[in-house]
Amino acid sequence: MFVMAAQQLGYRVTVLDPAVDSPAGRTADDFICADYADQPALEKLGTQCAAITTEFENIPAQSLRKLAKSCVVSPDAYSVSIAQNRITEKQFLVTNGFTVAPFAVIQQQDVIATQDVADLLPGILKVSQFGYDGKGQMAVASEAELIAAYAQLNHSICVLEKFMPLKSELSVVVARGNDGELKTFPVSENQHVNGILDISIVPARISPEFAEQVQGTACKIAEKLDYQGVLCVEFFVLQNNELLINEIAPRPHNSGHYSIDACITSQFEQQVRALCGLPLGATTQHSAAVMVNLLGDLWQNGEPDWNLVLQNPSAKLHLYGKTEARPGRKMGHYTVLTTDINAALQQALAVKKQLEQKLIRNP
Ligand code: ADP
Ligand code: MG
């Protein structure tokens, strides 16, 4: 989606991706299929590009540092290295005065017994690196379950986070230009299923004051990181309306996909603008939007019947062109646009129900 936004603005794009069937690689003007740490591949990328960005946080920071010697790289290795590790991420947030869920670092099995983890149970054990879409996470209710889960996660360095009773989850995409200009997108209200984003409702059904607080917090985080590019901040809202930071992503975010169809500037165009030193675009939302993810589970009887989405003339379908549909894998999304958020939600859920019922009818 970044590639298409860059091409729309007249740029030619090279993609580096280890996946042979990379959808971004197919769309780009040039595709280097190689590991993110492959030195000759990085050299080629650095030689033929003027500016480099990422849509994926698990690029080795060292690779970004190397590229920064020959071209503009944003976000920079520092921001990415903080966001790609749950421990450095939480330490950065806490040090800078932001509130996160209570947590502890779990490094060694025999340390669990000596660590005071009782206050963090029930909790969620999360691998510190490379987890996404709820992967590398296990709910644990007791010390015994914690020890078992830690073994199941291959004794990788983890964080144990207290399970928080959530009122809602919110997120904000913020862009910061190289002159420090900040522009936030409207706040998304996100519903997850099994740790995977299911639905984003935008604007979030919160007061304008609360939305401003959420956006302001995202801006402060971008400033503390001296961030350049597009950053997403995920929030937990507790029952008493207390706001916690869940995590940050140094890239456009699934919960910001609604902006492609519902805002004057999409999060991907904003990423192009921030990277290329262009003025940031207006983030004004022109339609209420509900985005629904399409996971690989829907493909269990083959390609879903897209007429079920397209028969709603206000639904915009996006398919990513991934060749293999695995359960839980994000294959696409649709966004329903209306003037009223409740109507958008109702219509989006009606389409979702039809897609799911079709699976049940034809098992
Ligand atoms: P990922 O990197 O996979 O997005 P997250 O840490 O954001 O991982 O967790 C995914 C989802 O799991 C969250 O959006 C939330 O719904 C749920 N979750 C994660 N941590 C907690 C927690 N401490 N308390 C309650 N729910 C949580
Ligand atoms: Mg998350």
The type of residue at 352 is: K
Task: Say what the pLDDT of residue 363 is.
Answer: 59
Tell me which architecture the domain covering 166-361 has in CATH.
2-Layer Sandwich (3.30)
Q: How far away, in angstroms, is 12 Cα from ligand 1 center?
A: 36
Q: What is the CATH number of domain 102-162?
A: 3.30.1490.20
Q: Where in the chain is the domain with CATH 3.30.470.20?
A: 166-361
Pick the CATH number of 2-82 from 3.40.50.20, 3.40.605.10, 3.90.1150.10, 3.40.50.300: 3.40.50.20
Interval 224-267: pLDDT, tens? 999 999 999 999 999 999 999 999 999 999 999 999 999 999 99
Q: How far away, in angstroms, is 249 Cα from ligand 1 center?
A: 13
Task: Say what the pLDDT of residue 131 is.
Answer: 87
Q: How far away, in angstroms, is 207 Cα from ligand 2 center?
A: 23
Task: Say what the pLDDT of residue 116 is.
Answer: 79
Interval 140-163: pLDDT, tens? 999 999 999 999 999 999 999 999
The predicted model scores a pTM of 0.97
pLDDT beneath 70: ranges in the chain: 110, 113, 362-363
Q: Where in the chain is the domain with CATH 3.30.1490.20?
A: 102-162
Instruction: Give, as residue ranges, everything with CB less than 5 Å from ion ligand 2.
Output: 234
Q: How far away, in angstroms, is 169 Cα from ligand 2 center?
A: 10
The atom of ligand 1 lying closest to the CA of 134 is: 3
Token couple for 9: 């603005």
The atom of ligand 1 lying closest to the CA of 135 is: 3
Residue owning the nearest CA to atom 18 of ligand 1: 195
